[in-house]
Structure 1
């Protein structure tokens, strides 16, 4: 091997390019794992609970979080090594994707809360309706007497 093929600056530049590429690939993989907006927006459920369960499933980021973690790992490594000449675009892309995943997680938590609450609410409303009907029936019977 010649001396020029082992030049530290050249090797560092090559490693920096590979690191940038790894970050970009991880970001692309994370984006591809996100649900389609139509999956979150459209439904074919017959009732509210079905809608909520479908929405909660649609809000699952899946492997996107793992890919985002890889992107952040390689970005942090490259940034600490001062390997990137201009990494503002990568930092912005990571921040945007991280914000979106967090927003999806928060929405999924809220949907999960509703999924647990709506059946209880329905049961309470059914009980109240039954009690109202019974009270009306008792009132009708008293009027007949």
Structure 2
């Protein structure tokens, strides 16, 4: 192999590495763009707590963020194993930050789901307790 073809191979490798980095960064940007808007999960307009919880559950939808992150990770792993990136730590840190954020959103979504199921049941139990207290009070008054 001549030194000229080696230089051409090095140029091609450098070009491919730059394209891989751009692809990873593009997928990470797309993942971040797919994340819920902070105001959408903070502001809620509803008539009751169940409406707020349902709105919050909808607002926590991450869209295609997980798929974009998956694509970024696939390209990153290939580039990392080929030692194609000058600074793989910065890309890895970005990937980890988005993974952690998606995990936090997933945790919040699970909590909201639990509350969505619990709140109507709690309301019903409180109504029954209030009715029982009212019945007991009526019973005490009739004893007089």
**Same fold (TM > 0.5):** yes
Q: Are residues 1:58 and 2:59 paired?
A: yes
Q: Could you tell me whether the CA contact under 8 Å between 1:60 and 1:105 is conserved in 2?
A: no
TM-score of the two chains, using structure 1 as the length reference: 0.93
Instruction: Tell me the number of residue pairs that the alignment of Structure 1 and Structure 2 aligns.
Output: 141
Matches within 5 A, 1:86-101: 86-101=87-102
Where in structure 2 are there 5+ consecutive unaligned residues? none
Alpha-carbon offset, residue 7 of structure 1: 1.9
Match in the other structure for 1:41: 42
Distance 1:35 1:89 in 2: 24
Q: CA deviation at 1:37?
A: 0.4
Q: Aligned residue for 2:106?
A: 105
**1:97-120, Cα deviation, whole Å (9 max, x unpaired):** 110000000010011001100100
1:1-145 to structure 2, matched below 5 A, reads: 7-143=8-144
Cα distance, 1:11 vs. partner?
A: 1.1
Runs of 4+ in 1 over 2 A off after TM superposition: none
Give distance in 1, aligned partners of 2:91 and 2:49: 40
Task: Tell me the TM-score normalized by structure 2.
Answer: 0.93
Q: Deviations over 1:63-119 (max 9, x none)?
A: 111101111111111001111111221111111111000000001001100110010
Deviation digits for residues 102-141 of structure 1, max 9, x if unmatched? 0000010011001100100000001011111111111111
Look up the SS of the partner of 2:46 in the other structure: coil
* CA distance, structure 1, for counterparts of residue 45 and residue 22 of structure 2: 40
Distance of 1:25 and 1:46 partners within structure 2: 40
Within 2, Cα distance between the matches of 1:46 and 1:70?
A: 40
